[in-house]
Amino acid sequence: MDVKLSTMITKPDFQAEFLSGILTANATPGIITFAGGNPNAESFPVEAMDAAANKVLKENGVMALQYSGTQGYLPLRKYIAERYKKMDLDFDPSEIIITNGSQQALDLFSAVMIDPGDKVLVENPTYLAALQTFHLYDPEIVPVDLHEDGIDVQQLEAALKEHKPQFMYLIPDFQNPTGLTYSEQVREKAAAVFKNSNCIVLEDNPYRELRFAGQSGHSFAWYLGEQCCLLGTFSKIVSPGMRIGWIACKQKKILEKMLTYKATMDLHTNMFGQMVLTQFLLDNDLDEHIEKTRLLYKQKAEYMIACIEKYLPAGVSCTHPEGGMFLWVTLPEGIKGVDIQRAAIKKGLAVCAGDPFYEYERNVPHLRLNFSNGSDEVIDRGIHILGDVMHELLAR
Amino acid sequence: MDVKLSTMITKPDFQAEFLSGILTANATPGIITFAGGNPNAESFPVEAMDAAANKVLKENGVMALQYSGTQGYLPLRKYIAERYKKMDLDFDPSEIIITNGSQQALDLFSAVMIDPGDKVLVENPTYLAALQTFHLYDPEIVPVDLHEDGIDVQQLEAALKEHKPQFMYLIPDFQNPTGLTYSEQVREKAAAVFKNSNCIVLEDNPYRELRFAGQSGHSFAWYLGEQCCLLGTFSKIVSPGMRIGWIACKQKKILEKMLTYKATMDLHTNMFGQMVLTQFLLDNDLDEHIEKTRLLYKQKAEYMIACIEKYLPAGVSCTHPEGGMFLWVTLPEGIKGVDIQRAAIKKGLAVCAGDPFYEYERNVPHLRLNFSNGSDEVIDRGIHILGDVMHELLAR
C-alpha cells in the first residue's frame, strides 16, 4: 500500500535520533549509560507502594478501576497544593491538572499556546524533549543564553522586546542539561523584566526537591503570580513508571482549554496510579523519603566529579550541580560532543552529546552526563572509558 | 494579563459541550445517568487486581516504578497478540503499541495520518470523541450512512472513489452510539470495496468481547490484512480507570511515526498499571471474567428495552443490540433529541442527544442510552422519567 503520512509527523526531528539512542542504551543489557535521566532504583519505595496499592484496592477498589474526571484525583491535587505552601506559593487544587508525567503537561500547554510562527523563548541549552514538543506546533524558538548563575537577563530583556514571545520555558533549579541553578539575584532581575512583558513563564521543576547543597531560590511563581505556570512531577522523587505529573496554572482561560484538550487526548490520567500514589503520599513522610534520595545523589555527584578529575584529560571541565541528576561537560578546543558520543558507544558507554539541547548550534563541545543512576563501580568504569575515548581523540 | 490562545484550541467544538455534560452528570450525586459509557462497577475484578498488584510489587517492584519503553510492556503486547488468534488474526507483539486508553491511540493515528483538508470517512452517526480527535487535525469528514446490518456499501464505494480518503474509522460491533452490528455479508462486501482503494480501515473494537447474543463476525483485519489497523482497550472488559488500550498496526511507516509521536506526548504508558494488568491477565481466566459481564449486560439491555416498551410513548423505537453498552432511540416525528436531553436533566436524568455523533446533522430525532451502568431500579426510574418527559413534549 502507498501510505501518505501527515506533514507534521514527517518534519525533520533532530532531537529524535538522540532520544532514541538514549532509550536504546537504556534497554541494552551490558551498556553503561550516563545518557538517560533515570532515577536510582534504590530510591523507589517499593514496599510502601505495595501497602498503598493494597489499601486503595481494599477500601476504594471500584473508584480506582472506574472512569474518572479529566482534571485528576482531587486528594492528589490537594496534596500538591498543600506542598506548594512550603515554597510560599498559593495554589488552589482547582488550578492543578494531573497529567501523564510532566511531559504531557508540556504538550497540553504547547497545544493551547502555540500558533505556527509564534515566538517561544528557551534557555540555551534546554531540555531536548521540550524542544521536540514545541516543534510539533511550529513556533520560532528564541534561545537565551544560560550562565553559571542563570539566564542572561540583558539578552532576555532584548528578546522580550524584539520577539513578544507567547511564553518562556525555563528550569531554574539544576537545569537539564547543565545542572546549573539561577541565583536569587538573577531570579529577581529576570522576574522584573518578565513583569514588564506579556510573556508567560513556564517553569519546569522536576528536580527542585533534589537539592543536596546550597539554598533553594524562589520560584518565578513567587515573583510573578498568575504570569507563571508550573510543571511538576513525581517521576524524580517517587516513581517515573507511574507517569504522574501536573501543571499548576492560575490562568483560567489556559487551564480550561488544557482540560478540554486533555479530555480529547486520553480522557484522564490513570486513576489506579493516582490513587495508589496519593495513598503512599498520605501514609508516608515524603520529605523523609526524598532526604534519602538527596544523600544518595550527593554522593553520586561527588563520586562522578572525582572520577572526572581522575580520568578525563586536562582542559575538560564540568558543572558542579547543587542537586538534580545531571552535570554538563565542556570539552577541550576542537573536540565535538557527537564525536565522543559515537566513539564511546563502541566501547559500551552511552553518553549524550550537547547538540540536541540546542535549537541552532551543532557540533558543540559538550556532553550531558547523568550521575543518579549508576553504582559507584559503574560510574568509575564508565568515566574511565570516557577518559580513554577522549585521550584517543586528542591524540589524533 | 492578555493571553492569546492558539487557533487550534479556540476552534468551535460542537462535541465538547455534550461531553462536558456527560462528565458533569457522572460526577453529580443524585443524577440518574444513561449519558456516559461507564462499565458496571460490579464487573470490576477488585480482589484479583489487588493480588496482581501485590505480586508485581513484590517480584518486580523496581521495574514497575522505573521509566520504560514507549511501545509498552512486552508481556502485555504478547498477551494481546495471542488473544488476536481467537479472532483468526495474526499480529506480532512488535506491531502493537500500548496507549493511555484507546482514546490516545485515536490521537496517535490521527496525528500521523491527517493533514488539513485530508478526507476521513466515518459511519453516520459515529463516536463523538473520535470526531473531536479528528477535528484537531482539520480533515474534511465524510460520513457514510449506517443501516441495521452495517455500513451502506454503495455509498461507501462512491465515497472512496470521489474522496480518496486517508482512512475510514468504523466500529463494526455494537457500534457507539447505535449499538448496531455489521452483518457478515456487509463486512465481506465492504472489505471488497476497500481492497480496491488506498484507504486504510481503522477498526475500533472496544465492545466486541461483550457479545451476549448472536455470532461474532470477522474483523476487517481478517479480510484486509495490513490495510486495517485495530484499536483495542481493556476499559470495557477489565478497567477503564487504568487507562490501558492499544493500537495494532502492520504498516511499519505508520507504527514508527506513532511511536516517536507517543514518546513526545508522554514517553510511555504508565508501567505500574501495565504490569499489574498483565499479572491479572496471566493469573486469571479473562474469558470467565468477561462471561460474567456479558450475562450482566444482557440482562441490563433486556431490562432497559422492557422499560422502554413500558414507559415510552408510541412511535418511539430503539435498536436491539447483541452486545456492548448502548442502544439508540428514534423519536416520533417532530421531537428533537436535544429537547428531550434538556427537559430530562431538569428532572434529574442525564441522556445524550444524537447530535454530537453527527458531523453535519443537527436537531436529530435520536438519543443514545447506556444500559450497562445502572441497577434495575435505577433503569426503571430513569426510563420512567424519560417517558414522562416525552409525553409532556408530545402533549404540547
Contact A5 B129 (CB under 8 A): no
pLDDT of residue A260: 93
CA A62/CA A256 separation, integer angstroms: 28
Q: Which fold has domain B14-44+288-395?
A: Aspartate Aminotransferase, domain 1 (3.90.1150)
Cell of B144: 457514510
Cell reading at A90: 498559593
pLDDT value of residue B338: 96
Q: What is the pLDDT of residues A132-144, one digit of tens each?
A: 999 999 999 999 9
Residue range B68-109, pLDDT digits in tens: 999 999 999 999 999 999 999 999 999 999 999 999 999 999
Alpha-carbon span B231 to B246, nearest angstrom: 6
Percent of chain A with pLDDT over 70: 100
Best residue in A243, A253, A262 for a mutation probing chain B (most B CBs within 10 Å) = A243
Residue A29: burial class (beta carbons within 10 Å; 0-12, 13-18, 19+): exposed
pLDDT at B25 over 90: no
- Kindly determine whether residue A264 and residue B47, on different chains, have CB atoms separated by under 8 Å: no
How confident is the model over A368-395, as a mean pLDDT? 96
Q: Where are the domains of chain A?
A: 7-44+288-395, 47-283
Count of CB atoms within 10 A of residue A249's CB? 26
C-alpha A204, offset from chain centre: 7
Chain A residues in contact with B108 (beta carbon < 8 A)? none
Q: State the pLDDT at residue A191.
A: 98
- Paired sense of beta strands B366-370 and B352-353, if any: antiparallel
Q: Note whether A264 contacts B136, CB cutoff 8 Å.
A: yes
Output the nine-digit C-alpha cell for B94: 512488535
pLDDT tens figures, A232-259: 999 999 999 999 999 999 999 999 999 9
Judge whether B252 is closer than 8 Å to chain A, CB to CB: no
- Residue B24 in this model has a pLDDT that exceeds 90: no
Q: Is this complex scored with an ipTM above 0.90?
A: yes
Pairing of strands B167-170, B119-124: parallel
* Cβ atoms A181, A150 nearer than 8 A: yes
Given the DSSP bridges, would you call strands B228-233 and B200-204 parallel, antiparallel or unpaired?
parallel
* Higher-confidence position of B333 and B231: B231
Q: Is A100 on the interface with B (CB under 8 A)?
A: yes
Q: Which of B16, B240, B271 lies at the smallest CB-CB distance from A260? A: B16
Nearest to A112 among B6, B133, B166 (CB): B6
**Better-scored residue on pLDDT, B220 or A37:** B220
Q: Would you state the cell numbers that stand for residue B131, as one nine-digit string? A: 470526531
Q: Of the candidates A6, A44, A273, which has its C-beta nearest B61's C-beta?
A: A44
Grid cell of A229 as nine digits = 505556570
**A160 touching B, CB under 8 A?**
no
Contacts of A2 in chain B (CB under 8 A): 198
Q: Show residues of chain A in contact with B66, CB under 8 Å.
A: 38-39, 41, 44, 239-241
Arithmetic mean of pLDDT, A7-35: 88
Cell of A70: 479529566
**Banded pLDDT at B233 (limits 50, 70, 90):** very high
Poorest-confidence range of A159-168, B18-27, B295-304?
B18-27
- Percent of chain A scored above 90 by pLDDT? 93
C-alpha angle with apex B374: B303 to B273, nearest 5 degrees?
Answer: 130
Q: How confident is the model at residue B199 (pLDDT cuts 50, 70, 90)?
A: very high
- The reply to whether residue B103 touches residue A166, judged by beta carbons under 8 angstroms, is no
> pLDDT tens, A53-88?
999 999 999 999 999 999 999 999 999 999 999 999
Please report residues of A whose CB lies closer than 8 A to that of B103: 264-267
Question: What per-residue confidence (pLDDT) applies to A26?
Answer: 78
Confidence of residue A171 (pLDDT cuts 50, 70, 90): very high
Q: Regarding predicted confidence, which is higher, A43 or B48? A: B48
> Residues B40-78: pLDDT tens digits?
998 899 999 999 999 999 999 999 999 999 999 999 999
Give me the residues of A, 7-66, that contact B with CB < 8 A.
7-10, 13, 16, 19-20, 23, 26-27, 36, 38-39, 41, 44, 46-47, 49-50, 53-54, 57-58, 61-66
B373 burial type by CB count under 10 A (0-12 exposed, 13-18 middle, 19+ buried): buried
- pLDDT of A396 > 90? The answer is no
Q: Does A124 touch chain B (CB under 8 A)?
A: no
Q: Are A113 and B16 in contact (CB < 8 Å)?
A: no
The pTM of this model reads: 0.97
- Give the model's confidence band at B1: pLDDT under 50 very low, under 70 low, under 90 confident, else very high: confident
| Angle formed at CA A368 by CA A366 and CA A373, multiple of 5 degrees | 160
The pLDDT score that the predictor gives to residue A27 is 76
Q: Answer whether CATH 3.30.40.10 is correct for domain A47-283.
A: no
Is the model more confident about A395 or about A102?
A102
Q: Rounded mean pLDDT of B265-273?
A: 96
Nearest CA in chain B to A264: B133
Comparing alpha-carbon positions, the chain A residue that sits nearest to B5 is A113
Q: Could you report the per-residue pLDDT of A256-290, keeping only the tens digit for each?
A: 999 999 999 999 999 999 999 999 999 999 999 99
Contacts of B390 (CB under 8 A, 6+ apart): B312, B313, B316, B331, B335, B340
Is the pLDDT confidence value at B27 over 80?
no
Segment A119-147 shows an average pLDDT of: 97
> Alpha-carbon distance B152 to B138, whole Å?
25
Enumerate the β-bridge partners of residue B229. B202
Question: What are the chain A neighbours of B4 within 8 Å (beta carbons)?
Answer: 166
HEC string for chain B: CCCCCCCCCCCCCHHHHHHHHHHHHHHCCCCEECCCCCCCHHHCCHHHHHHHHHHHHHHHHHHHHCCCCCCCCHHHHHHHHHHHHHHCCCCCHHHEEEECHHHHHHHHHHHHHCCCCCEEEEEECCCHHHHHHHHCCCCEEEEEEEECCEECHHHHHHHHHHHCCCEEEECCCCCCCCCCCCCHHHHHHHHHHHHCCCCEEEEECCCHHHECCCCCCCCHHHHHHHHEEEEEECCCCCCCCCCCEEEECCCHHHHHHHHHHHHHHHCCCCHHHHHHHHHHHHHCCHHHHHHHHHHHHHHHHHHHHHHHHHHCCCCCEECCCCECCEEEEECCCCCCHHHHHHHHHHCCEECEECHHHCCCCCCCCEEEEECCCCCHHHHHHHHHHHHHHHHHHHHC
- Is B129 within 8 Å of A264 when comparing Cβ atoms? yes
**pLDDT tier for residue A333 given thresholds of 50, 70 and 90:** confident
CB pairs under 8 A between A and B: 254
Kindly tell me the burial class for residue B288, based on how many C-beta atoms sit within 10 Å of its own C-beta (0-12, 13-18, 19 or more): exposed
Facing A2 at nearest CB: one of B69, B70, B198: B198
The pLDDT of residue A145 is 98
Mean pLDDT (chain B) is 96
Q: How far is A246 from chain B (nearest CA, A)?
A: 12
Confidence bin at A28 (pLDDT 50/70/90):
confident
Closest Cα in chain B to A54: B50
Region A24-33: what's the mean pLDDT? 86
User: Chain A contact for B334, CB < 8 A?
Assistant: no
Tell me the CATH number for domain A7-44+288-395.
3.90.1150.10
Q: How far is CA B179 from CA B125, B126, B134, B319, B352, in A?
A: 11, 11, 22, 7, 14
CA angle B249, B254, B256 (to 5 degrees): 95
pLDDT reading at B20 higher than 90: no
User: pLDDT digit string (tens) for A291-315?
Assistant: 999 999 999 999 999 999 999 999 9
pLDDT of A156 reads 98
CA-based nearest distance B309→chain A, Å: 30
Min distance B10 CA to chain A CA atoms (Å): 8
Residue at A280: amino acid letter: F
pLDDT at B175 over 90: yes
Q: Do B226 and A1 touch (CB under 8 A)?
A: yes
User: How close B244 gets to chain A, by Cα (Å)?
Assistant: 8
Per the structure block, which three cell numbers stand in for B353?
Answer: 442527544
Residue A212 to residues A237, B61, B364, Cα–Cα distance (Å): 13, 26, 63
Give the architecture-level CATH label for domain B46-283.
Answer: 3-Layer(aba) Sandwich (3.40)
Q: Do A107 and B265 touch (CB under 8 A)?
A: yes
Confidence (pLDDT) at B19: 84
pLDDT of the residue at A190: 98
Nearest chain B residue to A133 by CA: give it.
Answer: B264
Q: Within 10 Å of residue B16's Cβ, how many Cβ atoms?
A: 19
pLDDT at B21 over 90: no
